[in-house]
Amino acid sequence: MSKSPTGNFFEHFYLGQVFHHATPRTISDGDSALYIALTGARHVLSSADTVAHAMGYQRRVVDDLLAFHIALGKTVPDISINAVANLGYAQVKFLRPIYAGDTLSSKSTVIGLKQNSDGKSGVVYVQCEAMNQNHQVVMTWIRWVMVRKQDQQLPAPATVIPELSKVVNVNDLSIASEVSYQLFDTQITGSDFVWDDYQVDEQIHHPSGMTIDESDHTLATKLYQNPARLHFDASLSTYQKRLVFGGHIISVARALSYEGLENALSIAAINGGSHCNPTFAGDTIYAHSQVLDKWQIPHRQDVGALRLRLLAVKNQRLDDVAQALQEQDGKRVYQANVVLDLDYTVLMPRKSN
Amino acid sequence: MSKSPTGNFFEHFYLGQVFHHATPRTISDGDSALYIALTGARHVLSSADTVAHAMGYQRRVVDDLLAFHIALGKTVPDISINAVANLGYAQVKFLRPIYAGDTLSSKSTVIGLKQNSDGKSGVVYVQCEAMNQNHQVVMTWIRWVMVRKQDQQLPAPATVIPELSKVVNVNDLSIASEVSYQLFDTQITGSDFVWDDYQVDEQIHHPSGMTIDESDHTLATKLYQNPARLHFDASLSTYQKRLVFGGHIISVARALSYEGLENALSIAAINGGSHCNPTFAGDTIYAHSQVLDKWQIPHRQDVGALRLRLLAVKNQRLDDVAQALQEQDGKRVYQANVVLDLDYTVLMPRKSN
Amino acid sequence: MSKSPTGNFFEHFYLGQVFHHATPRTISDGDSALYIALTGARHVLSSADTVAHAMGYQRRVVDDLLAFHIALGKTVPDISINAVANLGYAQVKFLRPIYAGDTLSSKSTVIGLKQNSDGKSGVVYVQCEAMNQNHQVVMTWIRWVMVRKQDQQLPAPATVIPELSKVVNVNDLSIASEVSYQLFDTQITGSDFVWDDYQVDEQIHHPSGMTIDESDHTLATKLYQNPARLHFDASLSTYQKRLVFGGHIISVARALSYEGLENALSIAAINGGSHCNPTFAGDTIYAHSQVLDKWQIPHRQDVGALRLRLLAVKNQRLDDVAQALQEQDGKRVYQANVVLDLDYTVLMPRKSN
């Protein structure tokens, strides 16, 4: 019997199927150092033990996106190694702080299936969760991917499309009760702007850009132990180039967005997102943000939530989110340089009264 | 007196000569994170504290090859900085688990010498060992290199060629007595295939490929503190390109071989190996394995040994190990794309009865 | 109000102004592993816990330059994000050992201002210090940069140019009293040459070279959380290429200088330095040293100081420091391949009597 893993094709998935994904991963300070080197991240809760500890954390936390990329990477061999396209994320919730030394493992449950009309592939919806070594759920998310069908003669499964909320409700955000934002001093980040200062619809221009090289995107993707082959083997891509892992673009854009959102201390949720166009080595990424909404957090005076739209654009700066879309055949579509449109929610200190 | 180190030339070596190599190295979780990022390694004993601890290890172990490359790198300034070619390894034995925080140092003893007939260089055989901070030997190996002669007028030394076993005997493999493979659950790696399932002569196709970039091979070689100049300075190579360190190819091939050998949990020995052709940045590496032998381990029902052949090929996939060789002038030689032919022995859990 | 930080322009600085720079940083073993991988550093006090501990350190120390680059990187958003040129450093003093786990933050005080005659920019002199989590000063330095003026109508400030010593006096060097160099065994580094063996004016040729790639210089600069944009965004540079961060060149040259200065265990001071020409990816760096001075340390028989000149040259080897300069229009100027001329002071064990 062949020992080569072939992964799952569309016909192998069934509703309610549960995958306990392979190979747990202990996250270390080494991973965090690499994450800073690979993305340029400067968010303070992952940089400084002193600051995190003063707010009530045990010590500095593992960057939310580093943990997410590792947890997601674990799902690839079972869920998306035969994917044609990663269609989307929804309801990504960051539930507990993760510290160096924690060991993460991931689990997925199939919650939706829809065969494409041509019978060659289908969409698989999974509800995923990542657990730490104490079996505490640290993150949950929904993801859907288009997966090839191997045996096209097999009948299509019943179509089930899960109902997906477009946004994680503010009441479902998890804010560590042991953490106080009141103790946060904005001198720490050098920006005075806190939750109270941002307005709905306000646009934020992030001045820095970052050119992507082959080594840095592949090092990142290997760090996350994400074995999706398009990122490592140019011969597999229709572009004859290695495709940059979309998660790396999210991380680079989040790092670039630091300048203008310095006090967006942690990510509470990703409401949705799409990788609008591919990125390749040599492309320079710029980021632009817009405030979509702002919410008070129930029972908390010290911290508020901002719902943000984060656009990443290659080789071009945006002055306005409107420039991300263009008219084509009477439809509004992403212009060719837009590589990411992410809808996410951050936690930010509030002005003390 | 010149302070520039010139290293040893062939005439500086004598039988029985002992080198205590410079600069011990403490290995940290940072090195392990980088090793994952540089190679894409996913072997569970170096990934997850929880899994390693449950089997009896203190915590996750330093990857066998990461430790080997660091220990070998230490020998370069004394042994091979003036080498023309690295001819081979034999009898590489992994004797004790290495943990983050351990400090390794290396020692070599000259066990063979043979001047080449042209008098311009000669082969030096060394028996090496790496020790931890408690003076415990953690690895031993034999290596032979062709080294330039500086003063060709000097007489040739007596030729002594050590007798080298082609394989590390199963009785000489070291399996930590505190470690139980019975407690290993294959759900951890996602592969059901254990020692009992592999057959002698069976071939294993590893589906993934990995393109090598300049930064990742040079970062790896610097991480190992291996100062061999051909890997860093293009002007020194006959190819006018930086040569990829052979150890990086071994590591990439071992990482690629994870898909199909997920439960090859650790390396017990490297029986021999040769770097058949050079690799350069831009080359894409594919791996192919063959089971050479399988052995029961004396007094152990929980774990068995597989002797494997691991071929790494650039820019081409192999369907069969036979494709690695071709006829040339009546001889069987490696075809030009084969970059590694490694003979090594792994430990794998056995089916519980 | 715009949330995009624009940084300070020349007219925003005033004498005596104090900046508490943003975002403290905890340094970990992960940063040290990356530093080795990015630079090829092999200095033993940052490599081996055992050696450092035997000399009286708690454990291995964070490389002096890694700590300096991180501490300096913190000053960039306030001081030099609008810099036209980094003109120089002086009086860089390394005052206390830094260990993994320490959290650094930086502070700058404006000590000099001089508007350029064209009114478009001016020179800002800052006295900086880095503190650890216990509020102990671990490094101090002076730096001056040329910064653009935004509103050229504003009057020039009074010109104040601080008096800068060309060298850190031997009595101002900080040698940890708990550390004994007498216990240092040169077998550890493989070089017998200690302080007593180096002569003033002696030149040291370092045999190795290192090619710089885009990923390794950008990874290094991101690791230091230095957001200066010229290093990341090719479109901003007059060269249409990303400029290599000068600190990376200092680190690479220091690492190359290991071969011939193996026992230069730590850096006590940087007296001054200039980045004579730009470096770009693809350039190969070679290093050449000259002993400028040698000093006994008051009350210490075990350790002495060497004042060294370290030249880094791209794509060319120097046989002599004199080759760094050439005649041009009757003046002695750096030839085009010289990228660094650094004057610094190291600590080296002395012969035991």
**Mean pLDDT, chain C, whole residue set:** 96
Of the candidates A25, A216, A234, the beta carbon closest to that of B47 is on A25
- Would the ipTM clear 0.95, i.e. be above it? yes
| 3-class DSSP state of A65 | helix
Q: Using CB atoms within 10 Å of the CB of residue C209, give its burial: 0 to 12 exposed, 13 to 18 middle, 19+ buried.
A: buried
pLDDT of residue A193: 97
Interface test with B, best of C28, C29, C318 (most B CBs within 10 A): C29
How far is CA C67 from each of CA A285, B24, B48, C223, rounded to the nearest angstrom?
A: 29, 22, 30, 11
**Mean pLDDT, chain B, whole residue set:** 96
Percent residues over pLDDT 70 in chain A: 99
Chain C residues closer than 8 Å to B28 by CB: 29-30, 32-33
Q: What is the pLDDT of residues C96-128, one digit of tens each?
A: 999 999 999 999 999 999 999 999 999 999 999
Residues 6+ apart with CB under 8 A from B135: none
pLDDT of residue B210: 97
Phi and psi dihedrals of B287, rounded to 5? -125, 150
How far is CA C18 from each of CA B231, C109, C111, C147, rounded to the nearest angstrom?
A: 46, 4, 10, 17
Q: What is the pLDDT of residues A30-46, one digit of tens each?
A: 999 999 999 999 999 99
In which band, very low, low, confident or very high, does the pLDDT at A236 lie, cut at 50, 70 and 90?
Answer: confident
* C190 touches B: beta carbon within 8 Å: yes
Of the candidates A51, A205, A211, the beta carbon closest to that of C242 is on A211
| 3-class DSSP state of B234 | helix
Instruction: Say if CB C194 and CB C294 are below 8 A apart.
Output: no
**DSSP 8-class letter at A11:** G
Of the candidates C24, C33, C223, the beta carbon closest to that of A36 is on C223
Helix (H) or strand (E) holding C250: helix C246-256
In which band, very low, low, confident or very high, does the pLDDT at C275 lie, cut at 50, 70 and 90?
Answer: very high
Contact yes or no for C229 and A209 at CB 8 A: yes
Chain B residues closer than 8 Å to C188 by CB: 22-24
pLDDT at A151 over 90: yes
Work out the average pLDDT over A340-346: 98
Please state, in angstroms and rounded to a whole number, the distance separating the CA atoms of residues B201 and A206: 58
Surface of B (200-219) touching A: CB under 8 A: 202, 204-211, 213-216, 219
Q: What is the pLDDT of residues A102-146, one digit of tens each?
A: 999 999 999 999 999 999 999 999 999 999 999 999 999 999 999
In which band, very low, low, confident or very high, does the pLDDT at B237 lie, cut at 50, 70 and 90?
Answer: confident
* A1 touches B: beta carbon within 8 Å: yes
Q: What is the pLDDT of residues A163-196, one digit of tens each?
A: 999 999 999 999 989 999 998 999 999 999 999 9
Contact yes or no for A220 and B259 at CB 8 A: no
Instruction: Say if CB C294 and CB C169 are below 8 A apart.
Output: no
Phi and psi dihedrals of A262, rounded to 5? -60, -30
* C227 touches A: beta carbon within 8 Å: yes
Please state, in angstroms and rounded to a whole number, the distance separating the CA atoms of residues A277 and A274: 9
pLDDT of residue C353: 59
Work out the average pLDDT over C253-273: 97
Contact yes or no for B259 and A5 at CB 8 A: yes
Is pTM, for the whole model, over 0.90? yes
Percent residues over pLDDT 90 in chain B: 93
**Which residue has tokens 């003979």?**
B343
pLDDT at B350 over 80: yes
Helices (H), B196-257: 214-223, 246-256
pLDDT at B353 over 80: no
Chain A residues closer than 8 Å to B34 by CB: 30, 34
pLDDT of residue C155: 96
Please state, in angstroms and rounded to a whole number, the distance separating the CA atoms of residues C234 and A293: 35
pLDDT of residue A353: 59
Surface of B (255-314) touching A: CB under 8 A: 259-262, 284
Q: What is the pLDDT of residues C36-53, one digit of tens each?
A: 999 999 999 999 999 999
Residues in chain A: 353
In which band, very low, low, confident or very high, does the pLDDT at C20 lie, cut at 50, 70 and 90?
Answer: very high
Q: What is the pLDDT of residues B134-156, one digit of tens each?
A: 999 999 999 999 999 999 999 99
pLDDT of residue A86: 86
Work out the average pLDDT over B174-193: 93
* B78 touches A: beta carbon within 8 Å: no
Crossing angle of helices C64-73/C246-256, nearest 10°?
180
Contact yes or no for C37 and B33 at CB 8 A: no
Chain A residues closer than 8 Å to B29 by CB: 28-30, 100
Work out the average pLDDT over B280-303: 97
pLDDT at C174 over 90: yes
Chain B residues closer than 8 Å to A222 by CB: 36-40
pLDDT at B58 over 90: yes
Work out the average pLDDT over B109-133: 97
Chain A residues closer than 8 Å to B28 by CB: 30
Chain B residues closer than 8 Å to A218 by CB: 211, 213, 216
**DSSP 8-class letter at C260:** T
The distance of C191 to chain B (nearest Cα, Å) reads 8
Q: Using CB atoms within 10 Å of the CB of residue B271, give its burial: 0 to 12 exposed, 13 to 18 middle, 19+ buried.
A: buried
Contact yes or no for A32 and C30 at CB 8 A: yes
In which band, very low, low, confident or very high, does the pLDDT at C238 lie, cut at 50, 70 and 90?
Answer: confident
Chain C residues closer than 8 Å to A36 by CB: 222-223, 225
Please state, in angstroms and rounded to a whole number, the distance separating the CA atoms of residues B166 and B172: 13
Interface test with B, best of A82, A136, A219, A280 (most B CBs within 10 A): A219
**DSSP 8-class letter at A187:** G
In which band, very low, low, confident or very high, does the pLDDT at A352 lie, cut at 50, 70 and 90?
Answer: confident
pLDDT of residue C260: 97
Please state, in angstroms and rounded to a whole number, the distance separating the CA atoms of residues A200 and C3: 13
pLDDT of residue C1: 66
pLDDT at A235 over 90: no
Q: Which two tokens stand for residue C24?
A: 């403290």
| 3-class DSSP state of C103 | strand
Q: Which two tokens stand for residue B231?
A: 């890997």
| Chain CA centroid to CA A338, Å | 17
pLDDT at B172 over 80: yes
Work out the average pLDDT over C166-173: 96
Contact yes or no for B101 and C216 at CB 8 A: no
Work out the average pLDDT over B124-134: 98
**Mean pLDDT, chain A, whole residue set:** 96
pLDDT at A1 over 80: no
Q: Which two tokens stand for residue A199?
A: 């307005």
B: neighbours with 3+ CB pairs under 8 Å? A, C
Q: What is the pLDDT of residues A75-105, one digit of tens each?
A: 999 999 999 888 889 999 999 999 999 999 9
pLDDT of residue B87: 87
Q: Which residue of C has its CA nearest to A215?
A: C215
Contact yes or no for C208 and B229 at CB 8 A: yes
Please state, in angstroms and rounded to a whole number, the distance separating the CA atoms of residues A4 and A342: 36
Percent residues over pLDDT 90 in chain C: 93
Percent residues over pLDDT 90 in chain A: 93
Contact yes or no for B33 and C30 at CB 8 A: yes
